[in-house]
Amino acid sequence: AECAADGDRLARMDTAQRLAFLLPAIKAVAAAHDVGVLHKDLKPANVLVAQRGEDWQLRLTDFGSSRLLQPERLAELCITRLGMTVADAASESSSGTPLYLAPELLAGQPATTRSDVYALGVMLYQWLAGDLRRPLAPGWERDIPDPLLRDDIAQATDTDPDRRMGSADELAARLQRLPERRKERAEREAALHAAARLQESLDRTRARRPWIAATIGVLVLGLAASGYSWWRSEEQRHLAEQQATRARASMDFFDKALLTLSTGRSGYSH
């Protein structure tokens, strides 16, 4: 909408304001789809804008229209003039209509609700980038800092219609739930970060296991050697005690024998 861009109005809006500005147009397309109507020529030029105090009033127009009755009156009211249709695009080089054509339409396939969704995705990108003439070209992601909005635009403008977002109603619902989705994403990222830190800790533990095993092995060998030495010393001590016991027993035996012999001789002499 030229009126929104005029005087840097769009540039002064933050992301939330821009989404609130465009959301009624997306809902209007969803309502049209619900009754079986395709727009087939969605673009900013077909979103009429009128300011009502501090608010904006949007109207989606040109459902197949190709004529204007009072263009001067529309300009006086600061309402965007209708753009050229696709069939007449060649007659006006400044027409941006081809920017919003889904790839399947360029290939000659019939229009579907998903081709309208493609045009809405391009419009959403332009609205958030703050430039209603900017094409959705390689590198467009750099203009959209919010990863969730990048994902919304990417899904709405997928070149494969079978992989594209299914409906305008789904796009509107995703944009309305953006605050909740941001919170859910933050919670998922926090959980993933915690899981990554735990995995790093486990990896460090596994990396230290060979050193731990080697240390334990050295300790076990040391204890075994000490135990063996203690056992050997105990065995030797035990043998020494046995030998000492045998020696004492021998000495006692000889003492008793000598005592007996001495006593016997004394009795014989009497």
* Residue 41 a catalytic site member: yes
Cβ–Cβ < 8 Å for 127, 18: yes
Active-site annotation holder among 14, 41, 162, 169: 41
Find, among 203, 185, 204, the residue nearest to 193 by Cα: 185
Residue 32's alpha-carbon distances to 127, 161, 166, in angstroms, are 21, 19, 15
d(CA 174, CA 180): 10
d(CA 83, CA 45): 5
d(CA 178, CA 147): 11
d(CA 138, CA 144): 13
Active site residues: 41
